[in-house]
Amino acid sequence: MWPRTILNNLPIRYKIMLVCTVLFAPLALLSGGFTTMVMREALEAQVDRELNNSTGLMLNMIRTSVRLSIRNSLRTISETNAEIVKLFYQEYLDGNLTEQEAKARAEAVLLSQKIAKSGYLYCLDSNGIVVVHPEPELRFVDLSDVPFVAEQVRNKNGYAEYKWKNPEDLEPRDKAYWMTYFEPWDWIISASAYRDEFDQVVNIDDFQESFEALKFMTSGYTFVLDLTGKLIAHPVHQGKNVFDKGMERSDGFFMSLLTQKKGKLYYDWQNPGETAPRKKVVVFARIPEVNWVVASSAYLDDIYKPLDTMFDIGVLVTLFCLSGGALVAMYVSTTITQPLDLLTNLFAQGATGDYSVRMKYHSRDEVGQLSSFFNRFMEQLGVESSERKRLERQITEADDQERIHIGQELHDDLAPHLIGIEIMCRTLSMRLLETAPTAAIQAETIRSLVADATLKTRSLARGFCPIYGVDDGLGAALHELIRNVKTFYPVECQLYGAEGIEIRGAVAVHIYRIIQEAINNAVKHAAPSQIVVTLLRDSERFVFEVKDDGSGLSDTKDSAGMGLQIMNYRARMIGAELKIESSQEHGTMVWLRMCSKNINEGS
C-alpha cells in the first residue's frame, strides 16, 4: 500500500512528470530504434546511388571516348586509302598505267594493311559484290543479302556498327566500319575492325580531373583497373598491379572484380598507417570495349558515421526529454504552438526560394530566440544566394571570354599559318609539274587538304567566337550558325525573323549558346531532316523557337544531360523561361521566352 500512498501524496506536477517519464521512455526507445533502422536503410540507399552514379558516369565517359576514337581511326584509314586509290586512278588517266594495272596496285596497297589485331580493308561495288577482300574466296561474291552489306550499298559513305560471329567465335562480337565511296571505279572502300581490339585508343589522362572530382563521403573514390590487375587510375596506387607485393586479399577480392561483369562486394582494406583493416563496399562494372573494370568504393564506417552521430544526439535528447518532459507537458499552450505553426509556414515559404520572409515575434523565450535565429538564417541564405548567382555569372562570363580568346587565336594565328603552308604547297606543285608530275599531284593534294583545314579552322574560330560585338550582334551570329549546320551536317536548317535583331553583349551570348546547344542536340541525337529556328517578338517579350522533325530526345523529361542543364542555367542567368517538348512522332520543340525588359537590361 505504501507506493500508492506515496504516489497519492505527491504534488500534481510531480505526478505529471512521473507519468510522462513512464509513458515516454518506451516510446522514445521504439522511436529511436525505428529511426535508426530507417536512417540506416536511407544511408545505404544513398551510398548505393552515389557509387552507382560514379561508376556509371565513368563508364559512359570512357565508352564515349572509345566510340569516338574507333570512329575517327576507321575514318582516317578509309579516307586515306580512298586518296591512295585516287592517285592510282590518276596514274591511269595520265596514261602511265592501264586501268587493270592501276586497280591491281590499289588492291595490293589495300590488302597490305592491317587494322588493330584482325581488322582489314575491303571494297564492295554498288551491287553488293565483293571486289577487294583479303579472303580470296570472297572475291566477286554477291553479299547484297547480308544486312550490313545492304546498308553499305545504300549509304556508301559513313560509319556503322554491327555484330559478327566468325566460325571460331563462341558469341557474336561488336564490329565497326567506316566506308568511303570512290565513284570512278564504283568502289565502297571500307575499313573494318572489331571494337574490342581498340583497347589502346583511350588515354586515362583525359579523365584525370573527372576521377579526382568523384569524391563522396569523406574517403570514397573511383578507381579503374585492367584485366591483368593493373590499376589504370587510383588516388594512391595508380600504375601498380594488384597481384604484386601482396595487394590481393585472401578472399580473392580483386579476382572477383576481374571475373564478374558487374556487381557489389564487401571487403576489408587496411591503408598504410592504419592499425587495423576497415570494412569497405565497392560497386563495379566492366567495359568490354577496353577490357577495363571501373569501380567506386567507400568505407562503411564513413557511411554510418552520421547514424552514429544521430544515435549519440538521440540519447542526449532522450535523457533531456525524460528529465524535462513532464515540465514541458504542463506548459503546452497556444503561446508555443501558434508561433511554431507560423514559423513552420515561414520555413515552407523560404524553402520555395523566398528568403525575404521574417518572423515577427519579439519575446525573449525559446520561441523568440528561434525566431531570431530564423531571421538571421534567412538573411544569410539571401546573401549566400546572391553571392552564388554572382559567382556563377562570373564563371559563365569567364568561360565565354575563354571561348572568344581561343577563337581569336585560331583565326589570327593558326589560320594564317595554314594559308602560308597552302601557298608553299601551290608553289611546290607548280615547280614539280613539269619535272615530276606524280609528285606535283601529291603536292596539290596536300594543298587541297591544307585549304580544307584552313576552312575548318575558320569555322571553329567562328563557333568559339560567334558574337562580334556591336558591329554584327546576335542576328549575324545566328545566320553564321545556320550556314555552318548546312555545311557540316546533312540537315536542312532555316532561320526566320532574325533580321534587325539588336541584341548584343552577355544576353546575346547566352541566347546564342542555348540555340546552338538545341541544334547540336537535335543533330546528334534525333537524326532530323529539317531544323527551323524562328524568332518572334512584340513590345513585351522575345520568343526563340528551335523545331526539328527528328525522333525526339529521350532525356528531356528529367533534364539529366549536361547540355540541358547548361541550357537551363543560361536561361536563368538572363531571366528567361526555357521549355522543351519532345516525342518520336513530332520531333522536338525548344522555346526560350524572355521579357524585352530583361534583354535591354542585360545588353
- H or E stretch covering 295: strand 292-299
> Is residue 469 scored above 50 in pLDDT?
no
Q: Are 492 and 446 in contact (CB under 8 A)?
A: no
How far apart are the C-alpha atoms of 126 and 154, rounded to whole Å? Answer: 8
**pLDDT higher than 50, residue 470:** no
What's the confidence (pLDDT) of residue 220? 75
Domains of the chain: 53-310 (3.30.450.20), 467-603 (3.30.565.10)
Does the pLDDT value for residue 50 go beyond 50?
yes
pLDDT at 327 over 80: no
Query: Which residues 6+ apart lie within 8 Å of 476 measured at CB?
Result: 468
What are the pLDDT digits (tens) for 64-75?
Answer: 777 777 888 889
- 294 — phi, psi (to 5°)? -100, 130
Please report the pLDDT score of residue 558 as a whole number.
45
Of the chain, the end-to-end C-alpha distance in Å amounts to: 88
Half-sphere exposure in the Cβ direction for 425 (13 Å, CA):
18
The neighbour count for residue 220, using CB atoms within 10 Å, is 21
Alpha carbon of residue 346 to chain centroid? 38
The residue-averaged pLDDT of 433-460 equals: 80
In the block, which residue shows the cell 596496285?
A: 105
202 DSSP assignment? -
User: Who has greater pLDDT, 397 or 514?
Assistant: 514
Question: What pLDDT score does 225 carry?
Answer: 83
Average pLDDT, the chain: 78
d(CA 510, CA 573): 8
Distance CA 119, CA 195 (A): 10
| Reduced 3-state DSSP string for 228-275 | CCEEEECCCCCCCECCCCCCCCCCCHHHHHHHCCEEEEEEEECCCCCC
Looking from the CA of 134 toward its CB, the CA atoms found within 13 Å total: 14
Give me the pLDDT at residue 404, please. Answer: 65
Residue 264 pLDDT: 85
Low-confidence winner among 14-23, 167-176, 492-501 (lowest mean pLDDT): 14-23
| Residue 10, pLDDT score | 57
| pLDDT tens profile 527-575 | 899 999 999 887 778 899 999 998 887 654 444 466 787 888 888 888 8
Give the whole-angstrom CA distance, residue 507 versus residue 363: 48
Each residue's pLDDT tens digit, 167-223: 777 888 888 999 999 999 999 999 998 877 765 555 566 656 666 666 666 677 888
Beta strands 120-124; 492-496: pairing state: unpaired
173 neighbors 196 (Cβ within 8 angstroms): yes
- Work out the pLDDT band at 579, boundaries 50, 70, 90: very high
**CA–CA dist 132, 105 (Å, integer):** 12
CA distance 395 to 398: 5
Closest among 176, 257, 272 to 224, alpha carbons compared:
257
Q: Which three cell numbers stand for residue 349?
A: 515559404
**Average pLDDT score over residue span 106-128:** 91
pLDDT of residue 545: 93
Residue in 411, 407, 350 with CA at minimum distance from that of residue 376: 350
Cell 573494370, located at residue: 293
pLDDT class of 88 with cuts at 50, 70, 90: very high
DSSP assignment string, 86-146: HHHHHHHHTTSS-HHHHHHHHHHHHHT--BTTTBEEEEE-TTSBEEE-SSGGGTT-B-TTS
In this model, does residue 140 exceed pLDDT 70?
A: yes
Give the integer Cα–Cα distance in Å for 51 and 49.
6
Q: Which of 67-76, 267-276, 398-407, 498-507 is the most confident on average?
A: 67-76
Whether residue 216 contacts residue 298, with contact meaning beta carbons closer than 8 Å, is answered with yes
Cα distance between residue 291 and residue 307, in whole Å: 38
267 CB neighbour count, 10 Å cutoff:
17
The answer to whether 231 touches 223, Cβ cutoff 8 Å, is yes
What's the confidence (pLDDT) of residue 390?
73
For residue 382, what is its C-alpha cell? Answer: 539571401
Q: How far is CA 35 from CA 27, 112, 308, 314, in A?
A: 12, 70, 12, 10
Q: How many helices (H) and strands (E) does the chain have?
A: 16, 15
Q: Looking at the predicted structure, is the pLDDT value of residue 130 above 70?
A: yes
Query: What was the pLDDT predicted at 239?
Result: 79
What's the pLDDT band for 602 if we cut at 50, 70, 90? Answer: very low
Q: Nearest-CA neighbor of 290 among 225, 351, 373, 360?
A: 225
248: left (phi over 0), alpha (psi -120 to 50) or beta: beta
C-alpha count within 13 angstroms, C-beta hemisphere, residue 484: 21
For residue range 228-246, list pLDDT tens digits in order.
888 877 877 777 887 776 6
Q: Determine the Cα angle at 558 with ends 556 and 560, to 5°.
A: 85
Name the residue with higher pLDDT: 25 or 163: 163
Supply the Cα-derived Rg of the chain in whole angstroms: 34
CA dist 578 and 556 (Å) reads 12
Give pLDDT tens digits for 382-428.
788 777 767 666 766 666 667 666 766 665 567 667 766 877 787 88
Q: Strands 120-124, 187-194: parallel, antiparallel or unpaired by DSSP?
A: antiparallel
The sheet carrying 530-537 orders its strands as: 492-496, 530-537, 541-548, 587-595, 577-583
Angstrom distance (rounded) from CA 95 to CA 242: 63
- Rounded distance between C-alpha atoms, residue 486 and residue 493, angstroms: 6
Q: What percent of the chain has pLDDT over 70?
A: 73
Q: How would you class 585 by CB atoms within 10 Å of its CB: exposed for 0-12, middle for 13-18, buried for 19 or more?
A: exposed
- Residues 358, 345 contacting (CB under 8 angstroms): no
For the CA atoms of 299, 300, 302, 306, what is the dihedral angle to 10 degrees?
Answer: 170
- On the question of pLDDT at 315 being above 90, the answer is no
Least Cα distance to 290 among 348, 345, 332, 232 occurs for: 232
**Beta-bridge partner residues of 158:** 179
